[in-house]
Structure 1
Amino acid sequence: MSKISAEILIVAAGRGTRAGGGLPKQYRLLRGLPVLHHTVSACLSNPQIAAVRVVIHPDDLAHYDAAITAITDGRLREPVFGGSSRSESVHRGLAACEGSHVLIHDGARPLIRATEINALLERLRTDQAAFLAVPVVDALWRGDDGAAHAPQSRVGLWRAQTPQAFRLDDIRAAHLANTQDLADDVETARAFGIPVSIVQGTETNIKITQASDFSLAERLMGDTMDIRTGNGFDVHKFGDGDHVTLNGVIIPFDKGLVGHSDADVAMHTLTDAIFGALAEGDIGQWFPPSDPQWKGAASDIFLRKAVERATERGFTITHLDCTIICEMPKIGPHTLAMRQSLAGITGIDLDRISVKATTTEQLGFAGRKEGIAALGTATLVKI
């Protein structure tokens, strides 16, 4: 069977007031990042997904931009503005989708796993539609006013989750015919006569609804998050020249740095730190100095490649720290410009990038003003 071209449509246009905290729940912080950031990153971590689109409330564009600012994956499309109901929001999102199939997912389910998405995609090879669900295992009782009245059978009962997966043309037609705000897209599909299969999900794929769900999600993320730290170190000696380039910033000086590329010793360390966190070698393996095409090359080429590899592996770079070691030139006046340069290249927030300088108290080659050394550290996170 031919490959399925599937997009994920993330619905995040709700107000989420039951979760408290002032902001809509999808923009509240979870492990230091907005919930929606985790949800989008989790969906993009699956290489089989062709594109990810998010439906947002028209008033939330600034919140959305802040939530996804560190995500550089080109598969993330422009957001779609939702409507006055969930059904209308989904309908608008579907109108923007492309390809043959679509997986509709809640923005407040940040713990979806690639294996669950794969199970849905596999079912779509044979079935018209499918959704994740978990069987009801607890005893069920009907009651009111705090009093139990009668037990209810749990046989055949499932708790629906998302994503819910469909042929794009089918679910578009179902939403076009729908005139009600139904519970979910499975109900919309069934009302239109589309058969829907159940794929068993996991209890960890929770939807954040109440304030207490944030602490539960954090505990669950402790079991699923992949947090990595990489280090880089580099040295370049002084030679002839009238400037040095550090973290992409040209600093006038009476010497230059010697190297095969532009000798940006600071940016080289951060590139190595990212490759190190990924356990994918170092800058010399990716861009060998023996290759003439890299002669005099701008080092942002190398850093962009490291960021690209992190994204392809499903990681988000959450922090960069660079220490420049030299007696001269003076680094302090240029650190803000360096941070801004790195933010522009990596897409990381400025307050997650640190650049600082120190000396060796006139000891060693740096103390003798023979060159510049640098240390770099990168933190990567994947849920």
Structure 2
Amino acid sequence: MAGSMLASLTTAGVGGPAGKLVEAGTEQEIIDAVSAADDAGEPLLILAGGSNLIISDAGFGGTVVRITSSGFTVNDDDASCGGVMVNVQAGQDWDELVEYTVLHAFSGLETLSGIPGSTGATPVQNVGAYGSDVSQTIATVRTWDRETRAIKSFTNFELKFGYRTSLLKRTTVNGSPRYVVLSVEFQLGLGRMGTPIRYAELARALDVPVGSRAYANDVRREVLRLRSAKGMVLDPPDRDTWSTGSFFTNPIVPESEASGLPVDAPRFPAGEEGKVKLSAAWLIENAGFAKGFGLQTSSENGRPDQSSRGADMPTAGGRASLSTKHTLAVTNRGGASAEDLLGIARLVADGVERTFGIRLHPEPLLINCSL
């Protein structure tokens, strides 16, 4: 499918034409499509749920392989040891998988409810939310190694997971991975109780102490409620959900750098000696960018006026803005281009750096574009 517009395949709703678009619904079809592009020397972009990338308005001139494989198998041979193995195809819708595991009393994924996208993308980004991430449950990832032209499986340890990153992400350039994910195997616990609640906001919603457990069904319900309130569950009529989710990662900085911030700036353990994790949302809001920044309202004299900081700055004409529910999401309000979304993100990143001296970095992959 030459010339297919990629905007309709992404949750942000932006992206120009593909040179060639190939759909691959099985492991062999994925390998064949990737190998054909490599044999032809064409640039390659892997796409599935389209929830974690911004594709430029110029599009992608090479081959886009859209992974549509789905389904999973459950091996409960190890149930006597208190767990099950769930092997999941790369194109499987993530939240459908999470819902299944919760309904069948497999614990470990419940706090990751409502995250849009495909299962194959989760190990690349080490997807996480509400105090947990997929590195805590992934056993192995099966991939196609484009360099050696062979199947390559990685153990959890070999994936070298970090905060929103992995070996798979670190070996991906402009959306073109060395290792193409074919399937992911999770090791999950058995029982209707979820894993310990590590996130204070979720613990409050469940009315349990941090570190205690709650029924996985209840955890899923509250996570979906919290995410929906932030515009983080896909809902086409709600323009706040036309985004890549959180656009910026929480910065991890040396403690000396964080010491210059106001005392009320949130700080969290970073898992690295001498470093702390900061809240990107706090930095954005305290640099003066409110929810809805970039939207236009009518002022008393009838002229457009910015609804928040930046009235004297060029924005996207109201086509793109920060979410009205959550300052971490850059949203397509209708008719936005990739450059509109990036323009809002640049203003925010520049403003945070000007105010606090800390540069925010994008979480989604930026394809043929940059901040």
TM-score normalised to structure 2 length:
0.22
Q: Quick check: which one's helix share is greater?
A: 1
Query: Is the radius of gyration larger for structure 1 or structure 2?
Result: 1
